Structure 1
Amino acid sequence: MVLDKPIKVMLIDDDPGIHESLRDLVEEEGYEFCGALSGKEGLRLLDQERPDLLLLDVMMPGMNGFDVCRQMRDEGRRIPVIFLTAKNDIVDKSTGFKSGADDYVTKPFIADELLLRIDAHVRRHRDDMQHARVHEADASAEAAAPVRPDHVVVGDLEVLFDRYEVRLRGEVVPLTAKEFEILSLLAESPGEVFTRRRIYEHLWGEVAEVDENSITVFARKIREKIEDNPSEPRYLLTVWRVGYKLADE
């Protein structure tokens, strides 16, 4: 199993013999191991050891496994918890799951089964954490991204994005849907030059063949509707051999 760092498994159990056997088992599998012989000691060690998964005995003197799990969840610790319970223990599993457990394994346990469960829970937890980081990064990027204004004004021309409308001297310009998409794209960044390919891909998605002549035709039709003199455009400007831009007056 290849991960960024070795998996660390922590055991909280009052039986030293269980510590010895589990240490041998998990270290032979390539995991790191740490342990505590009581619930209170285990809670103190969590910050220091920062394990990836906790194996937690249910029936311990002083502070039982349910209390340990409940307290660590109250503190915001999200690592997977697998309860270990003796076969003859009378345990209400619903209590364990309500306290924040992820799984139960009965002692004496089958080594391969326990290792498989450790692996599965750690993988799932790390995937969840990775997804959460990606979501947070996306949310931060979205929050940091500049907010597009609801309209742009250039001279007597006004592009109202949310209303899907263009006005010239206060009068609505009868643009087609594609014509509006082109003009609104340019209006998002007045003065920025947009190549014909970029405009084409904005309209129809990424394609192998670009009919640049169709963009030229659209530009001419837009000018006929927004320019006083389409031959001497004031708003929709051509950048020779590159593309188009909206004037940034």
Structure 2
Amino acid sequence: MTKIMLIDDDESLQVLIGQIAERDGYAYCCASNGIDGLTMLRDERPDFLILDVMLPDTNGFEICKTIREEGRKVPILFLSAKGDIVDKSIGFKAGGDDYLVKPFQPEELSLRVHAHLRRCNKGVDGESLSTQKNRKVYSVGDLELHFGKYEVRLRGEPVALSSREFELLELLASDPGSVFTREQIMQHLWGGTDTADPNSITVFARKIREKIEDDPSKPRYLITIWRVGYKLTES
């Protein structure tokens, strides 16, 4: 069973995330400080780590650095009351994969966890993603995307996309139906969150919709998941 781990000294948050994990079908463990958290991480080997930035004995950024220095590739999502770009940049540069600001909606956390696990081929059902990853063409309805060729067709006619627009669409098409967070998209397109304006993603999504959707205000293919990110229709 896929295992989720939390390092946070907030007991109410420990209970909440435990409830989310149980509801979503994950095993769950938690620790209240960095030292115990590292020990538990090494013993439990979780598939996903939720890490608070402010801990009683250290900070989450240092814990993350230690985890990466040990060669561990577990996806790490930071939790913090600080949401400015400076703190987010520190978190991503320390080796984090995502950053969620407190207070947050439980459903948003659930969607982010699931999205990352799908990236790592560790969904709740353990289903392999090799079929999606190895295919050459994404096709749904009248839309076709040819991986690696910068080629998109709508009803058989070529669609003119910029390189960034195609790369965004190609990323989403690599795992149809799964939500990609804004942070994941920025990492993919620009290699980090401190080199581009997050609003650029919104602009790219709007331009793509204008080119592939019959009614951009009611998209069929490129779907926004509010406060989380985007996905492409699976079928």
When the two structures are superposed, what TM-score results if normalisation uses the length of structure 2? 0.50
Q: Which of structures 1 and 2 has the larger relative contact order (alpha carbons within 8 angstroms, sep 6+)?
A: 2
Q: Normalising by structure 1, what TM-score?
A: 0.47
Largest Rg, 1 or 2:
1
